[in-house]
Amino acid sequence: MAMALDGIKVLDLSRLAPGPHCSMLLADFGADVTLVEAIPGSSAKLGGTSGMRRSEGADRAAAYNALGRGKKSIALNLKDEAARRVFYDMVKGADVVIEGFRPGVVKRLGVDYATLAKINPRIICCSVSGFGQTGPYSNLVGHDINYISVGGALGVTGRPGQAPAIPVNLVADFAGGGLTAAFAICVAIIARAKTGRGQDIDVGMSDGVLSLMTSAFSGYFSNGQPIRPGEMLLNGAAPFYNTYQCSDGRWFSIGSIESHFYEALCKVLGVDEYLQSQFDQAKWPEMIGKLQGIFKTKTADEWMTIMSQYDICAAPVLEMENVVTNEHNLARGMVVELDSPIGKVKQIGVGPKLSDTPGKPRTTAPILGQHTDDVLKGLGYDAAKIAALREQGAVG
Protein backbone atom coordinates (compact mmCIF):
# COMPACT_ATOMS: atom_id res chain seq x y z
CA MET A 1 0.00 0.00 0.00
CA ALA A 2 1.26 3.45 -0.89
CA MET A 3 2.29 5.69 1.97
CA ALA A 4 1.90 9.47 2.04
CA LEU A 5 5.63 10.25 2.20
CA ASP A 6 6.94 7.47 -0.04
CA GLY A 7 10.08 8.70 -1.84
CA ILE A 8 10.91 11.45 0.64
CA LYS A 9 14.46 10.94 1.93
CA VAL A 10 15.29 12.41 5.33
CA LEU A 11 18.69 12.71 6.99
CA ASP A 12 18.37 13.15 10.75
CA LEU A 13 21.32 14.65 12.60
CA SER A 14 19.35 15.30 15.79
CA ARG A 15 19.94 13.57 19.12
CA LEU A 16 17.43 14.58 21.80
CA ALA A 17 13.67 13.96 21.79
CA PRO A 18 12.22 16.70 19.52
CA GLY A 19 14.19 15.85 16.37
CA PRO A 20 13.79 12.07 16.64
CA HIS A 21 10.07 12.53 17.33
CA CYS A 22 9.78 14.64 14.19
CA SER A 23 11.55 12.06 12.01
CA MET A 24 9.53 9.23 13.63
CA LEU A 25 6.34 10.96 12.53
CA LEU A 26 7.71 11.28 8.99
CA ALA A 27 8.91 7.66 8.96
CA ASP A 28 5.51 6.42 10.16
CA PHE A 29 4.03 7.88 6.98
CA GLY A 30 6.60 6.37 4.65
CA ALA A 31 9.61 8.70 4.61
CA ASP A 32 13.00 7.03 4.15
CA VAL A 33 14.80 8.26 7.27
CA THR A 34 18.50 7.75 7.89
CA LEU A 35 19.92 8.66 11.28
CA VAL A 36 23.33 10.27 10.91
CA GLU A 37 24.77 9.44 14.29
CA ALA A 38 28.01 10.27 16.02
CA ILE A 39 30.69 7.64 16.42
CA PRO A 40 31.24 6.98 20.14
CA GLY A 41 34.25 9.02 21.16
CA SER A 42 33.89 11.12 17.98
CA SER A 43 36.91 9.64 16.26
CA ALA A 44 36.95 6.12 17.69
CA LYS A 45 38.22 3.51 15.25
CA LEU A 46 35.66 0.77 15.50
CA GLY A 47 36.06 -2.66 13.99
CA GLY A 48 33.33 -4.96 12.73
CA THR A 49 30.83 -4.37 9.99
CA SER A 50 28.89 -1.64 11.82
CA GLY A 51 29.45 1.13 14.33
CA MET A 52 28.17 -0.99 17.21
CA ARG A 53 28.32 -4.74 17.65
CA ARG A 54 24.99 -6.38 18.36
CA SER A 55 24.38 -7.32 21.96
CA GLU A 56 21.34 -8.20 24.02
CA GLY A 57 21.44 -4.79 25.67
CA ALA A 58 21.80 -2.89 22.39
CA ASP A 59 19.04 -4.89 20.73
CA ARG A 60 16.68 -4.38 23.66
CA ALA A 61 17.35 -0.64 23.82
CA ALA A 62 16.72 -0.31 20.08
CA ALA A 63 13.58 -2.45 20.16
CA TYR A 64 11.90 -0.24 22.74
CA ASN A 65 13.18 3.05 21.31
CA ALA A 66 9.97 4.00 19.50
CA LEU A 67 11.42 7.35 18.41
CA GLY A 68 13.93 5.48 16.26
CA ARG A 69 11.47 3.16 14.56
CA GLY A 70 11.35 2.87 10.79
CA LYS A 71 14.83 4.36 10.37
CA LYS A 72 18.31 3.36 9.23
CA SER A 73 21.51 4.36 11.01
CA ILE A 74 24.90 5.44 9.70
CA ALA A 75 27.68 6.53 12.04
CA LEU A 76 29.75 9.50 10.84
CA ASN A 77 32.34 11.70 12.50
CA LEU A 78 31.34 14.99 10.90
CA LYS A 79 34.46 16.66 12.29
CA ASP A 80 36.37 14.58 9.75
CA GLU A 81 36.58 15.97 6.22
CA ALA A 82 36.11 12.54 4.62
CA ALA A 83 32.96 11.97 6.69
CA ARG A 84 31.61 15.34 5.60
CA ARG A 85 32.15 14.34 1.98
CA VAL A 86 30.11 11.21 2.64
CA PHE A 87 27.37 13.36 4.12
CA TYR A 88 27.45 15.70 1.11
CA ASP A 89 27.03 12.67 -1.15
CA MET A 90 23.98 11.69 0.91
CA VAL A 91 22.56 15.22 0.64
CA LYS A 92 22.65 15.08 -3.17
CA GLY A 93 19.78 12.56 -3.14
CA ALA A 94 18.01 13.75 0.00
CA ASP A 95 14.93 15.92 0.51
CA VAL A 96 15.21 16.92 4.17
CA VAL A 97 17.93 17.39 6.78
CA ILE A 98 16.90 17.69 10.44
CA GLU A 99 19.26 18.95 13.14
CA GLY A 100 18.90 19.81 16.80
CA PHE A 101 22.25 21.34 17.68
CA ARG A 102 22.73 24.69 19.38
CA PRO A 103 22.68 27.61 16.91
CA GLY A 104 25.92 27.89 14.95
CA VAL A 105 27.06 24.28 15.34
CA VAL A 106 26.00 23.13 11.87
CA LYS A 107 27.84 26.05 10.31
CA ARG A 108 31.01 25.10 12.17
CA LEU A 109 30.58 21.51 10.99
CA GLY A 110 30.00 22.65 7.41
CA VAL A 111 26.52 21.14 7.16
CA ASP A 112 24.42 24.31 7.39
CA TYR A 113 21.64 25.19 4.93
CA ALA A 114 23.73 27.66 2.92
CA THR A 115 26.37 24.98 2.31
CA LEU A 116 23.93 22.15 1.61
CA ALA A 117 21.73 24.24 -0.72
CA LYS A 118 24.73 24.69 -3.02
CA ILE A 119 24.97 20.90 -3.25
CA ASN A 120 21.21 20.36 -3.60
CA PRO A 121 19.01 23.45 -4.13
CA ARG A 122 15.92 21.34 -3.35
CA ILE A 123 17.11 20.42 0.13
CA ILE A 124 14.92 21.41 3.07
CA CYS A 125 16.82 21.96 6.32
CA CYS A 126 14.96 22.02 9.62
CA SER A 127 16.68 23.26 12.77
CA VAL A 128 14.94 22.40 16.06
CA SER A 129 16.28 24.35 19.02
CA GLY A 130 15.04 25.61 22.35
CA PHE A 131 14.65 29.31 21.60
CA GLY A 132 15.21 29.42 17.85
CA GLN A 133 18.15 30.58 15.76
CA THR A 134 17.72 34.31 16.48
CA GLY A 135 16.79 36.55 19.39
CA PRO A 136 18.45 37.30 22.74
CA TYR A 137 17.72 33.80 24.12
CA SER A 138 18.93 31.88 21.06
CA ASN A 139 22.24 30.78 22.58
CA LEU A 140 20.84 29.91 26.00
CA VAL A 141 20.72 26.28 27.06
CA GLY A 142 17.43 24.83 28.28
CA HIS A 143 14.98 21.97 28.50
CA ASP A 144 11.23 21.56 28.19
CA ILE A 145 10.54 23.20 31.57
CA ASN A 146 12.39 26.34 30.43
CA TYR A 147 10.70 26.53 27.03
CA ILE A 148 7.20 26.17 28.50
CA SER A 149 8.15 28.89 30.98
CA VAL A 150 9.08 31.37 28.25
CA GLY A 151 6.24 30.19 25.98
CA GLY A 152 3.66 30.80 28.71
CA ALA A 153 2.29 27.29 29.28
CA LEU A 154 3.83 26.69 32.70
CA GLY A 155 2.54 29.98 34.07
CA VAL A 156 -1.11 28.98 33.63
CA THR A 157 -0.98 25.50 35.17
CA GLY A 158 -1.48 24.30 38.71
CA ARG A 159 -3.64 25.43 41.61
CA PRO A 160 -3.91 28.91 43.14
CA GLY A 161 -1.15 29.70 45.58
CA GLN A 162 0.79 26.55 44.72
CA ALA A 163 3.85 25.92 42.59
CA PRO A 164 3.19 25.48 38.85
CA ALA A 165 2.29 21.91 37.93
CA ILE A 166 5.18 20.54 35.86
CA PRO A 167 3.94 18.30 33.04
CA VAL A 168 6.00 15.52 31.53
CA ASN A 169 8.03 17.00 28.65
CA LEU A 170 5.13 16.85 26.19
CA VAL A 171 4.38 20.48 25.48
CA ALA A 172 7.72 21.86 24.28
CA ASP A 173 9.75 18.81 23.28
CA PHE A 174 7.06 16.86 21.49
CA ALA A 175 4.26 19.30 20.56
CA GLY A 176 6.13 22.60 20.24
CA GLY A 177 9.22 20.85 18.88
CA GLY A 178 8.79 17.50 17.12
CA LEU A 179 5.20 17.86 15.94
CA THR A 180 5.69 21.48 14.85
CA ALA A 181 8.84 20.52 12.94
CA ALA A 182 7.10 17.64 11.14
CA PHE A 183 4.27 19.98 10.15
CA ALA A 184 6.72 22.63 8.93
CA ILE A 185 8.66 20.08 6.88
CA CYS A 186 5.49 18.85 5.17
CA VAL A 187 4.53 22.46 4.40
CA ALA A 188 7.99 23.07 2.93
CA ILE A 189 7.67 19.94 0.77
CA ILE A 190 4.38 21.26 -0.61
CA ALA A 191 5.96 24.68 -1.20
CA ARG A 192 8.89 23.09 -3.03
CA ALA A 193 6.47 21.50 -5.49
CA LYS A 194 5.45 25.04 -6.43
CA THR A 195 8.81 26.83 -6.33
CA GLY A 196 11.27 24.05 -7.13
CA ARG A 197 13.43 25.19 -4.22
CA GLY A 198 14.06 23.93 -0.72
CA GLN A 199 14.31 26.26 2.25
CA ASP A 200 15.58 26.66 5.79
CA ILE A 201 13.18 26.03 8.68
CA ASP A 202 13.80 27.50 12.14
CA VAL A 203 11.74 25.77 14.84
CA GLY A 204 12.16 27.25 18.30
CA MET A 205 10.39 25.15 20.91
CA SER A 206 9.43 28.21 22.92
CA ASP A 207 7.81 29.59 19.74
CA GLY A 208 5.97 26.30 19.31
CA VAL A 209 4.65 26.48 22.87
CA LEU A 210 3.46 30.04 22.35
CA SER A 211 1.77 29.02 19.11
CA LEU A 212 -0.12 26.33 21.04
CA MET A 213 -1.39 29.11 23.31
CA THR A 214 -2.83 31.20 20.47
CA SER A 215 -6.40 30.86 21.73
CA ALA A 216 -5.47 31.59 25.33
CA PHE A 217 -3.70 34.79 24.32
CA SER A 218 -6.57 35.80 22.05
CA GLY A 219 -8.65 36.19 25.21
CA TYR A 220 -5.90 38.12 26.95
CA PHE A 221 -5.42 40.50 24.01
CA SER A 222 -9.18 41.04 23.92
CA ASN A 223 -9.99 41.64 27.57
CA GLY A 224 -6.61 42.28 29.19
CA GLN A 225 -7.17 39.56 31.79
CA PRO A 226 -4.20 37.22 32.15
CA ILE A 227 -4.85 33.58 33.00
CA ARG A 228 -3.66 32.60 36.47
CA PRO A 229 -3.27 29.01 37.68
CA GLY A 230 -6.56 27.47 38.76
CA GLU A 231 -8.53 30.70 38.38
CA MET A 232 -10.38 30.23 35.10
CA LEU A 233 -12.97 27.86 33.74
CA LEU A 234 -10.52 25.74 31.77
CA ASN A 235 -7.69 25.41 34.29
CA GLY A 236 -9.29 24.33 37.52
CA ALA A 237 -11.63 26.99 38.90
CA ALA A 238 -14.92 25.53 37.62
CA PRO A 239 -16.54 22.59 39.45
CA PHE A 240 -17.88 21.20 36.17
CA TYR A 241 -14.43 21.21 34.51
CA ASN A 242 -12.27 19.58 37.14
CA THR A 243 -10.86 16.39 38.59
CA TYR A 244 -12.10 14.54 41.66
CA GLN A 245 -10.62 11.75 43.73
CA CYS A 246 -12.70 8.61 44.01
CA SER A 247 -13.10 6.01 46.76
CA ASP A 248 -10.29 3.87 45.31
CA GLY A 249 -7.83 6.78 45.35
CA ARG A 250 -7.97 7.19 41.58
CA TRP A 251 -9.06 10.42 39.90
CA PHE A 252 -11.98 11.21 37.64
CA SER A 253 -12.30 14.07 35.13
CA ILE A 254 -15.42 16.11 34.41
CA GLY A 255 -15.70 18.49 31.44
CA SER A 256 -19.41 19.33 31.26
CA ILE A 257 -19.24 22.91 30.02
CA GLU A 258 -22.31 23.15 27.78
CA SER A 259 -25.60 23.71 29.62
CA HIS A 260 -27.17 20.39 28.65
CA PHE A 261 -24.07 18.48 29.75
CA TYR A 262 -24.02 20.46 32.99
CA GLU A 263 -27.69 19.78 33.64
CA ALA A 264 -27.15 16.05 33.16
CA LEU A 265 -24.18 16.16 35.55
CA CYS A 266 -26.19 17.87 38.29
CA LYS A 267 -29.07 15.42 37.96
CA VAL A 268 -26.86 12.31 38.03
CA LEU A 269 -24.96 13.59 41.07
CA GLY A 270 -28.15 14.67 42.81
CA VAL A 271 -27.20 18.34 43.15
CA ASP A 272 -30.22 19.97 41.54
CA GLU A 273 -29.73 22.96 43.84
CA TYR A 274 -26.86 24.02 41.57
CA LEU A 275 -28.78 23.76 38.28
CA GLN A 276 -29.05 27.55 37.99
CA SER A 277 -25.57 28.27 39.36
CA GLN A 278 -23.31 27.06 36.57
CA PHE A 279 -21.64 30.40 35.95
CA ASP A 280 -22.11 31.87 39.42
CA GLN A 281 -18.43 31.89 40.29
CA ALA A 282 -19.16 32.81 43.90
CA LYS A 283 -20.69 29.35 44.31
CA TRP A 284 -17.94 27.41 42.57
CA PRO A 285 -15.82 26.71 45.71
CA GLU A 286 -18.90 25.46 47.56
CA MET A 287 -19.91 23.22 44.67
CA ILE A 288 -16.39 21.82 44.31
CA GLY A 289 -16.47 20.84 47.98
CA LYS A 290 -19.85 19.16 47.53
CA LEU A 291 -18.69 17.23 44.46
CA GLN A 292 -15.49 16.15 46.19
CA GLY A 293 -17.58 14.39 48.84
CA ILE A 294 -19.88 12.78 46.27
CA PHE A 295 -17.08 11.39 44.12
CA LYS A 296 -15.46 9.85 47.20
CA THR A 297 -18.45 7.46 47.47
CA LYS A 298 -17.62 5.34 44.39
CA THR A 299 -14.61 4.05 42.47
CA ALA A 300 -13.43 5.67 39.25
CA ASP A 301 -14.67 2.72 37.20
CA GLU A 302 -18.06 2.83 38.90
CA TRP A 303 -18.38 6.51 38.08
CA MET A 304 -17.46 5.82 34.45
CA THR A 305 -20.17 3.16 34.22
CA ILE A 306 -22.71 5.66 35.54
CA MET A 307 -21.57 8.69 33.56
CA SER A 308 -21.32 6.86 30.24
CA GLN A 309 -25.06 6.20 30.30
CA TYR A 310 -25.81 9.92 30.09
CA ASP A 311 -24.65 12.92 28.06
CA ILE A 312 -21.90 13.90 30.49
CA CYS A 313 -18.35 14.80 29.47
CA ALA A 314 -16.47 12.52 31.82
CA ALA A 315 -13.63 10.01 31.94
CA PRO A 316 -11.37 8.37 34.50
CA VAL A 317 -7.86 9.79 34.72
CA LEU A 318 -6.00 6.78 33.38
CA GLU A 319 -2.66 5.83 34.87
CA MET A 320 -0.05 4.66 32.34
CA GLU A 321 -0.67 0.99 33.02
CA ASN A 322 -4.38 1.52 32.37
CA VAL A 323 -3.91 3.69 29.28
CA VAL A 324 -2.33 0.80 27.36
CA THR A 325 -5.07 -1.68 28.29
CA ASN A 326 -7.97 0.72 27.76
CA GLU A 327 -10.51 -0.72 25.32
CA HIS A 328 -10.86 2.52 23.37
CA ASN A 329 -7.12 3.06 22.95
CA LEU A 330 -6.73 -0.53 21.80
CA ALA A 331 -9.65 -0.26 19.38
CA ARG A 332 -8.06 2.87 17.88
CA GLY A 333 -4.81 1.03 17.20
CA MET A 334 -2.86 3.19 19.62
CA VAL A 335 -0.93 0.26 21.07
CA VAL A 336 0.87 -1.84 18.46
CA GLU A 337 3.24 -4.78 18.44
CA LEU A 338 6.35 -4.82 16.27
CA ASP A 339 8.76 -7.64 15.48
CA SER A 340 12.29 -7.05 16.74
CA PRO A 341 15.52 -9.02 17.29
CA ILE A 342 14.33 -9.70 20.87
CA GLY A 343 10.82 -10.74 19.83
CA LYS A 344 7.59 -8.78 19.71
CA VAL A 345 7.59 -5.43 21.51
CA LYS A 346 4.81 -2.97 22.22
CA GLN A 347 4.91 0.65 21.12
CA ILE A 348 2.44 3.51 20.82
CA GLY A 349 0.71 3.60 17.42
CA VAL A 350 0.10 6.35 14.88
CA GLY A 351 -2.23 9.20 15.86
CA PRO A 352 -3.70 10.58 12.60
CA LYS A 353 -5.82 8.06 10.68
CA LEU A 354 -5.57 8.64 6.90
CA SER A 355 -8.11 6.68 4.87
CA ASP A 356 -6.06 6.26 1.69
CA THR A 357 -2.42 6.47 2.78
CA PRO A 358 -2.39 5.45 6.45
CA GLY A 359 0.69 5.63 8.59
CA LYS A 360 2.25 2.55 10.12
CA PRO A 361 5.26 1.78 12.33
CA ARG A 362 7.32 -0.48 10.10
CA THR A 363 10.49 -1.57 11.89
CA THR A 364 12.01 -1.08 15.32
CA ALA A 365 14.95 1.27 15.74
CA PRO A 366 18.39 0.34 14.39
CA ILE A 367 21.46 -0.01 16.53
CA LEU A 368 24.13 2.63 16.05
CA GLY A 369 25.74 2.40 12.62
CA GLN A 370 23.74 -0.68 11.64
CA HIS A 371 23.33 0.50 8.04
CA THR A 372 26.66 2.30 7.53
CA ASP A 373 27.94 -0.18 4.95
CA ASP A 374 24.59 -0.40 3.15
CA VAL A 375 24.31 3.38 2.85
CA LEU A 376 27.88 3.76 1.65
CA LYS A 377 27.45 0.99 -0.93
CA GLY A 378 24.31 2.75 -2.13
CA LEU A 379 26.41 5.87 -2.69
CA GLY A 380 28.86 3.89 -4.81
CA TYR A 381 31.62 3.30 -2.25
CA ASP A 382 33.42 -0.02 -2.69
CA ALA A 383 34.58 -2.32 0.11
CA ALA A 384 38.14 -0.96 0.09
CA LYS A 385 36.97 2.65 0.38
CA ILE A 386 34.57 1.75 3.20
CA ALA A 387 37.32 -0.08 5.07
CA ALA A 388 39.63 2.93 4.68
CA LEU A 389 36.98 5.33 5.99
CA ARG A 390 36.37 3.11 8.99
CA GLU A 391 40.08 2.72 9.68
CA GLN A 392 40.59 6.50 9.80
CA GLY A 393 37.59 6.94 12.09
CA ALA A 394 35.43 8.78 9.56
CA VAL A 395 32.65 6.22 9.72
CA GLY A 396 31.57 3.57 12.20
Q: Is 143 a catalytic residue?
A: yes
DSSP secondary structure code for residue 364 in this structure: P
Instruction: Give CA angle at 254 (250, 255), nearest 5°.
Output: 150
In angstroms, how far apart are the furthest CA atoms of the chain? 84
Out of 143, 202, 301, 374, pick the active-site residue: 143
Q: Are 26 and 33 within 8 A, CB to CB?
A: yes
Q: Alpha helix locations (H) across 270-307?
A: 284-295, 300-307
Beta bridge partners of 336: 347
- Helix or strand or coil: residue 31? coil
CA-CA distance, 228 to 235, in Å (whole number)?
Answer: 9
Helix (H) or strand (E) holding 22: helix 18-28
Q: Are 363 and 354 within 8 A, CB to CB?
A: no
For every residue of 116-168, DSSP letters joined together read HHHH-TT-EEEEEESS-SSSTTTT----HHHHHHHTTSGGG-S-TTSPPP---
Out of 32, 173, 207, 373, pick the active-site residue: 173
Q: Is 28 a catalytic residue?
A: no
List residues with catalytic annotation: 143, 173
